[in-house]
Amino acid sequence: MTRIPRAATQLFAATAAVAMLAACSATPDGPAGQPSQSGDLVSLVDAAAKTPIKDVKASLGEPAAPAADTKLCYITRTLSNEFWGFERDGFEAEAKRLGVNYQTFDVTDESSITEQLDKAKSAANQGCSALLASPISATGLDTVFTDALAQNVPVVILNDAKGNIPGSVYVGPDALTIGETAADYIASKLPEGGKVAMIEGDPGSSNALNRGEGFKNGLAKHPNLELVASQTAKWDQTRAQEIATAMLTANPDIKAFYSQNDGMAFGVAAAIAAKNLTGKVVLVGTDGIPQAKKEIQAGNMTATVSEQPVTEGASGVDAALWLMAGKEVPAWIDVPAFIIDSENVGEYPTGMP
Amino acid sequence: MSQPTLPKNEPAQDSRTTPAAPRPGASIPGKLHKGRTLNLQAFGIYMAAVIIFLIFGLLNPNFLTSGNLRDIAVSASVNAIIGLGITFVIITGGIDLAVGSIASFVGIVTATLMVNAGTSPFLALLAGIALGLVCGAINGLLITKLKLPPFIATLGTMSIYQGFAYVVTNGRPVYNVPKDFVFMLNSYVGGIPVAVILVAVLAILCWLLLRRTVFGQNVIATGGSEETAWLSGVRVDRVKIAVYALSGVLAGVGGLVIVARINAAQTDAGSPYLLTAIAAAVIGGANLMGGEGRIAGTLVGALILGALTNGLVLLNVPSFYEQIVTGLVVVIAVALDQGSKGWPLLKKRKSEPQKEATA
């Protein structure tokens, strides 16, 4: 039996040896022989600029029709989340409208971080004229982006996970502003103040972190609002319902809930209804998916901070084509989120903006 | 599929040196044809791999390019590493559901050590591997000393380790992983990805451990029949603890490769690998009833899964269908495994199933 430890130590020693060997002799960037000079793409992207999409469109105009063999690749997240479906719809509709070839790559679920990386690599191997992506992890696709930019392939990041690779363009809202917008809206509905609770998304997601931080920043401006509970439901409706029920039991006088997405808000709405508090407790969701608008019309939800995934997907196509035509593009094309409540919900009958 | 004559049977010798007798159910159907015994699945899985690669190659010209094959190998690496450990566990008749959580936990701890505590990447790597060892050993202790069924014990620790992974950083991902660490596990040596070299080295070590040491024989004996193994003097508890510890170490190494690949540690980055690593081992011929498993089979299983993901992407198949195909491959592989030892349809022409794994 003395052989077990010996075998185990051998295994360790060998592993360590390999690791050291690799550390000593590895080449830093990608496969040997690949050119790594950064193209003029990086200089086209104005790193400091954050410009609303309307202004960008006004100044750059309709993108010029690209060469016939142009192909845009969009690496999205899971299409089982309808939000990414709308993002894709915007991307594909705009590509179709402009007569550009396109392909969409999706992944299994929100934890498929390395699967997304593998698919992005497959996409890049096939040859893409531009890479559009919605990374699950903020840095997860960085190696693919760097390689693409080195070969003068534009990189456009759609919604969430704004990276810091020089030369990449981010198209989407400011998640901090989303949280802040929710806080301001709740303050406007509760002039006399009161207790507030937040239902958080997956703690590892940058959207959850930034929306939460923005919401707290927003609450700080309204001292009569007190955040008494904040828990993660990991984007899960059922879990949100359980958590909201427990929160209402612990603090029956909660006046408002902020949920970091609409799916969880439906769970909170059920919890509120079970306590016969529908209409008495302000409930603000995030995203603005179609079902949320129905719930707002039915009076089960007060409002949602709506994003504009279709606009983002389409603007991503425009941004890629602008870059390919040599036009200067801001590093952040802002597609702002906005409040939908009972007053304007009628303006958005189907789909998402 | 017409079967006989496959000369890949050198471990027949191994099985005779195995201290314990094969499982009671091992010698059932058919007659023994010495010298031309066949493991239908061992053959089938390699054929299946070749066929899958050829079909994708025919359907998409990009598939068999060296760059793409290298990407497939890299994408299969984490499944392969974790799958190697799972193979040992499955051979003992157990299961390790905690591997995904251990990968996440080790990844986040190692990254936190480097980024927040300033530990050198190499020391942090060793600490991560040690943490994997401890997590795995705890699984083994729960299973042997508290007599918990492996499924239950690792179901519990899966949740516990995942919880710890969240607690370490309060759920936040760790970015800005030192470049030295990334180079260690995600760079290229002479054009070959380090992750692939690592898989090759680990696989050879695992094969030697399983096939050329007393420990390996004891692992197989334990899975064959725990009681017989115990009666023959195998210290079954120690074997099991060591096997789960090994699985923990390899899960940890897998977690470190994930961190290097995505330049960040995410609190749940390892979770998707639980089922795919088990699938890799099972496709490769590991039998959940114990006693059987092949190192090379697990590698091929991981490669098949990687090729499926990659190839279906190149063919623009939506990921929902990809999951259906992956599931079908698992079912077909295991069906072939069953077929190799007495599927009613094949029974008439059956030759003696090869109990021993061909690694």
Question: How many residues are present in chain B?
Answer: 359
Q: Answer yes or no: do A96 and A187 share one domain.
A: no
Domain of B211 in residue numbering reads as 76-276
- Return the pLDDT at A8: 47
Whether B136 has its CB under 8 Å from any CB of chain A: the answer is no
Tokens of A344: 């304007």
Strands (E), B34-129: none
**Phi and psi at residue A275, in whole multiples of 5°?**
-95, 10
Per-residue pLDDT band for B347 (boundaries 50, 70, 90) equals: low
Using a CB-CB distance cutoff of 8 angstroms, which residues of chain A are in contact with residue B314? 122, 126
**Phi and psi at residue A104, in whole multiples of 5°?**
-110, 140
Whether B263 has its CB under 8 Å from any CB of chain A: the answer is yes
Is B154 among the domain residues?
yes
Using a CB-CB distance cutoff of 8 angstroms, which residues of chain A are in contact with residue B205? 10-11, 14
Whether B242 has its CB under 8 Å from any CB of chain A: the answer is yes
Check B309 against A117: CB less than 8 A apart. Answer: no
Q: Answer yes or no: do A117 and A193 share one domain.
A: no
Integer Cα distance of B98 and B160 in angstroms: 9
Judged against a pLDDT cut of 60, whether residue B12 lies above it is answered with no
Task: Give the percent of chain B with pLDDT over 90.
Answer: 63
SS3 of B229-250: the string is: HHHCCCCHHHHHHHHHHHHHHH
Integer Cα distance of B255 and B164 in angstroms: 15
Is A206 among the domain residues?
yes
Q: Which of A31-35, A120-124, B144-148, B174-178 has the highest mean pLDDT?
A: B144-148
Judged against a pLDDT cut of 70, whether residue B18 lies above it is answered with no
Is B132 among the domain residues?
yes
Is B53 among the domain residues?
no
Is B334 among the domain residues?
no
Integer Cα distance of A128 and B46 in angstroms: 33
DSSP for A102-167, written as a single string: EEEE--SSTT-HHHHHHHHHHHHHH--SEEEE--SSTTTTHHHHHHHHHTT--EEEESS-----TT
How many domains does one find in chain A?
2
Of B191, B194, B269, the CB nearest to A113: B269
Check A31 against B70: CB less than 8 A apart. Answer: yes
Q: Answer yes or no: do A249 and A321 share one domain.
A: no
Domain of A213 in residue numbering reads as 175-306
Mean pLDDT (chain B, rounded): 85
Bridge partners of residue A155, in order along the sequence: A131
Using a CB-CB distance cutoff of 8 angstroms, which residues of chain A are in contact with residue B74? 118
Judged against a pLDDT cut of 70, whether residue B13 lies above it is answered with no
CA distance B31 to chain A (A): 37
Whether B320 has its CB under 8 Å from any CB of chain A: the answer is yes
Q: Answer yes or no: do A207 and A104 share one domain.
A: no
Task: Answer whether B110's CB lies under 8 Å from B100's CB.
Answer: no
- Return the pLDDT at A112: 87
Check B314 against A126: CB less than 8 A apart. Answer: yes
CA distance A202 to chain B (A): 8
Torsion sign over Cα A253, A255, A261, A266: positive
Q: Answer yes or no: do A197 and A281 share one domain.
A: yes
Whether B104 has its CB under 8 Å from any CB of chain A: the answer is no
Judged against a pLDDT cut of 70, whether residue B354 lies above it is answered with no
Walk along chain A (353 residues) and give the pLDDT tens digit of each residue: 444 455 445 544 544 444 444 444 444 333 333 333 445 788 889 888 899 999 999 999 999 888 889 999 999 998 888 899 999 999 999 999 999 999 999 998 888 889 999 999 988 888 899 999 999 888 889 999 999 999 999 999 998 777 788 999 999 999 999 999 999 999 999 999 999 999 999 887 788 989 999 999 999 999 999 999 999 998 889 999 999 999 999 999 999 999 999 999 999 999 999 999 999 999 999 999 999 999 999 999 999 999 999 999 999 999 999 999 999 999 999 999 999 999 999 999 888 99
Tokens of B159: 């949740």
Instruction: Please list, residue by residue across A330-339, b when 16 or more beta carbons sit within 10 angstroms of its beta carbon and e when fewer do.
Output: bbbbbbbbeb
Instruction: Spell out the residues 6+ positions from residue B349 whose beta carbon is closer than 8 angstroms to its own.
Output: B3
- Return the pLDDT at B352: 46
- Return the pLDDT at B88: 98
Chains A–B, number of C-beta pairs less than 8 Å apart: 171
Q: Answer yes or no: do A42 and A118 share one domain.
A: yes
Complex-level ipTM: 0.72
Integer Cα distance of B50 and B235 in angstroms: 40
- Return the pLDDT at B39: 58
**Could you give the residue ranges of the DSSP H alpha helices within B40-65?**
40-59
**pTM reported for the whole predicted model:** 0.79
Q: Answer yes or no: do A198 and A321 share one domain.
A: no
Q: Answer yes or no: do A240 and A135 share one domain.
A: no
Tens-digit pLDDT profile for residues B63-89: 999 888 998 999 999 999 999 999 999
- Return the pLDDT at A127: 87
Check B187 against A1: CB less than 8 A apart. Answer: no
Q: Answer yes or no: do A164 and A57 share one domain.
A: yes
Whether B183 has its CB under 8 Å from any CB of chain A: the answer is yes
Judged against a pLDDT cut of 70, whether residue B307 lies above it is answered with yes
Using a CB-CB distance cutoff of 8 angstroms, which residues of chain B are in contact with residue A80? 320
Judged against a pLDDT cut of 50, whether residue B57 lies above it is answered with yes
Of A3, A107, A112, the CB nearest to B215: A3
Check A114 against B323: CB less than 8 A apart. Answer: no
Judged against a pLDDT cut of 90, whether residue B237 lies above it is answered with yes
Domain containing A141 — which CATH number?
3.40.50.2300
CA distance A139 to chain B (A): 6
How many domains does one find in chain B?
1
Is B164 among the domain residues?
yes
